[in-house]
Structure 1
Amino acid sequence: MGGWAIAVHGGAGVDPNLPLERQEQAKVLLTRCLNIGISALRSSLPAIDVVELVVRELESDPLFNSGRGSALTEKGTVEMEASIMDGHGRRCGAVSGVTTVKSPVSLARLVMEKSPHSYLAFSGAEELRPPTGGVEMVDNEYFITEENVGMLQLAKEANTILFDYRIPTVGFDKCSAVVENPLQMNGLPISVYAPETVGCVVVDGEGRCAAATSTGGLMNKMSGRIGDSPLIGAGTYACEVCGVSCTGEGEAIIRGTLAREVAAVMEYKGLGLQEAVDYVVKERLDQGKAGLIAVSRNGEVAYGFNCIGMFRGCATQDGFMEVGIWE
């Protein structure tokens, strides 16, 4: 075994004109979360504990689209989703439609460990209350930021799902709210694509892999829409071989079962980790835009994306550490 490794992401697809101040804020947050994970791994915490710890931290910061700062539905509310998977035994838990649980990833872990199920949604997920506690409740307003309220208004004026609320698309006029030659998702116009998910993958010193992913989804999404993030095998997957967390155009990630495909080509084609990531990004996304992070049981770390950038960071036991946005 090659020791522990960790990777985090804050979404794939970044405006090349994103202000430098915003870029630095993102790098500081990713570095902080990486260091939390590194400390936990040095303390011999299991991989499953580390991915939950890191994603909880990402959910608590409004910079990315998960937990506080989540994108708003067409009704102006927040419906969050998350999943977690322990490659040791392939145990998993997932939640969707969460509106008052402060940390959706921790609720997903409770589904995995304290319920007979793998996936709970909406009121069923919210009502999961083990006697030991473990979930903090807050009002839906806690998750809503002034910036996202403004972006929802823009999306409504344009009559579109804002897939990236930081980038005006070609021909997108905020005044007339006209979209010419828009990109499409399932045949419907969307704005240009961007960061909308957070995730973490870890292999610990024992070679155990784990993955977790959390998101608020799409700005102006239909109430009840579920993306790839809580879907095991699509947005999140972990097994004996690797751990994977995806980000990007959820509908395309779902169609390509992206996270599971990385493990599958490693298992069945014998590809190495980076080779598997590159293959899946190139061959399984069709016209979709996305990215992913991955670790292997051998202590390797890898990432890939087919868009302009991905907020990401990674570190390994041998001292390598990197935080970046662009190619």
Structure 2
Amino acid sequence: MGGWAIAVHGGAGIDPSLPLQRQEEACQALLSALHLGISALRSASSAVDVVELVVRELELNPLFNSGCGSALTAQGTVEMDASIMDGSTRKCGAVSGLSTVKNPISLARLVMDKSPHAYLAFDGAEAFARQHGAEIVDTSFFIIEENVIRLKQAKEAKSIQFDYRLPSKGWDTCASEAEQMVQMNGVPISLYSPETVGCVVVDALGRCAAATSTGGLINKMCGRIGDSPLIGAGTYACNICAVSATGEGEAIIRATLARDVAALMEFKGISLKEAVDCAIHERLEDGKGGLIAVSNDGHVICGFNTTGMFRALATEDGHMEVGLWD
């Protein structure tokens, strides 16, 4: 196939009742971010620069659960996570527990480029951000009224919310249907979208990179860290491929989902599509989620076992897709 390729996602687990306007808004936002990445690739930007650029754009859009619009913890606070990996060098950077850094993905990039470490969290990550001139804003920047309401509803239903968009049918039915809801370690989870954002790229030189950013779960325990900042779980890139995952973080962590795609290609010699299908439908077991992936030969694949996943992709030969459902 050859040439560059790019994919972005805005979360897996779409409720079929999500209002059409919301669906269209999310697709347009992903398409805008995709075009931003395409333009950078056509200007010969590196894969790692492009994934940072695209995820920064999505972090500033309150439609998504990353940066502005992040989910709220049980205490009503924001704790954002992000990670980035350059497949050509296998260098990576990750951050967790951020509450004032405007673009978590760019702080993850700073950790990768400017620190001796791969992962910084909470106060240490915030201090590093100030030390290196990352843009700092008041924590209120990330909190939108919709999520304040959503947290209140989650507390009333004694539920962790897998995502953060308000359902169109009202919350009153959710508590009574808790037994039918997806469970996370025995706790009901509501499924609405969009949510976590991510981007994967292979550039014209065959270099792969991945980036993922999230606000986590509504009503999560303070200090909870999901898959998004964990290299090998929510994000992974090497000289063969790049992967960004989204969905039920605890299940993705158990499956080391992103790394599994690369390992299947590396050790079994199978195609990107075969590796993605195996990871999603066999390795994820009873968990729900999805992923986007590119290979160094310009292939791009999206896979999920949920009702849908917000995603958009493009290749150098002119192919482009934007989708929600299977």
Q: Classify the TM-score, shorter chain.
A: over 0.9
CA distance in 1 between counterparts of 2:9 and 2:173 reads: 33
TM-superposed deviation, 1:163: 1.4
TM-superposed deviation, 1:287: 0.6
Normalised by the size of structure 2, how large is the TM-score?
Answer: 0.96
Normalised by the size of structure 1, how large is the TM-score?
Answer: 0.95
CA distance in 2 between counterparts of 1:264 and 1:37 reads: 27
Q: Does 1:80 align with 2:112?
A: no
The C-alpha deviation readout for 1:190-249, integer Å capped at 9, x for no partner, is 223644210000000000000000000000000000000000000000000000000000
Alignment partner, residue 295 of structure 2: 296
Unaligned segments of structure 1, at least 5 residues:
none
CA distance in 1 between counterparts of 2:95 and 2:187 reads: 26
Q: Does 1:99 align with 2:118?
A: no
Alignment partner, residue 108 of structure 2: 108
Is the Cα contact below 8 Å between 1:195 and 1:247 reproduced in 2? no
**1:197 alignment partner AA:** T
Alignment partner, residue 35 of structure 2: 35
The C-alpha deviation readout for 1:245-294, integer Å capped at 9, x for no partner, is 00000000000000000000000111111111011101111110000000
Unaligned segments of structure 2, at least 5 residues:
none
Is the Cα contact below 8 Å between 2:73 and 2:217 reproduced in 1? yes
TM-superposed deviation, 1:160: 1.1
Is the Cα contact below 8 Å between 2:70 and 2:143 reproduced in 1? yes
CA 1:168–1:61 in structure 2 vs 1: closer, same or farther (change >3 Å)? closer
Is the Cα contact below 8 Å between 2:164 and 2:195 reproduced in 1? no
**1:116 alignment partner AA:** P
Cα RMSD (Å) of the superposition?
1.8
**1:110 alignment partner AA:** L
Alignment partner, residue 64 of structure 1: 64
**1:159 alignment partner AA:** K
Is the Cα contact below 8 Å between 1:230 and 1:236 reproduced in 2? yes
CA distance in 2 between counterparts of 1:257 and 1:96 reads: 18
Is the Cα contact below 8 Å between 1:198 and 1:213 reproduced in 2? yes
Alignment partner, residue 238 of structure 2: 239
Q: Secondary structure at the match of 2:172?
A: coil
Is the Cα contact below 8 Å between 1:167 and 1:192 reproduced in 2? no
CA distance in 2 between counterparts of 1:212 and 1:25 reads: 22
CA distance in 2 between counterparts of 1:240 and 1:14 reads: 32
**1:48 alignment partner AA:** V
TM-superposed deviation, 1:189: 2.4
Alignment partner, residue 142 of structure 2: 143
Alignment partner, residue 313 of structure 1: 312
Is the Cα contact below 8 Å between 1:114 and 1:130 reproduced in 2? no
Alignment partner, residue 212 of structure 1: 211
TM-superposed deviation, 1:40: 0.2
Is the Cα contact below 8 Å between 1:169 and 1:192 reproduced in 2? no
Q: Does 1:174 align with 2:149?
A: no
**1:61 alignment partner AA:** N
Alignment partner, residue 276 of structure 2: 277
**1:207 alignment partner AA:** G
Percent identity, aligned pairs only, is 68
Is the Cα contact below 8 Å between 1:2 and 1:298 reproduced in 2? yes
CA distance in 2 between counterparts of 1:175 and 1:291 reads: 27
Is the Cα contact below 8 Å between 2:14 and 2:191 reproduced in 1? no
Is the Cα contact below 8 Å between 2:63 and 2:194 reproduced in 1? no
Trace 1:193-232 onto structure 2 (pairs within 5 A). Answer: 194-232=193-231
Alignment partner, residue 257 of structure 2: 258
Is the Cα contact below 8 Å between 1:242 and 1:294 reproduced in 2? yes
**1:300 alignment partner AA:** H
Runs ≥4 in structure 1, deviation > 3 angstroms?
129-132, 164-170, 175-180, 192-195
Alignment partner, residue 25 of structure 2: 25
CA distance in 2 between counterparts of 1:70 and 1:2 reads: 36
CA distance in 1 between counterparts of 2:130 and 2:186 reads: 42
TM-superposed deviation, 1:67: 0.2
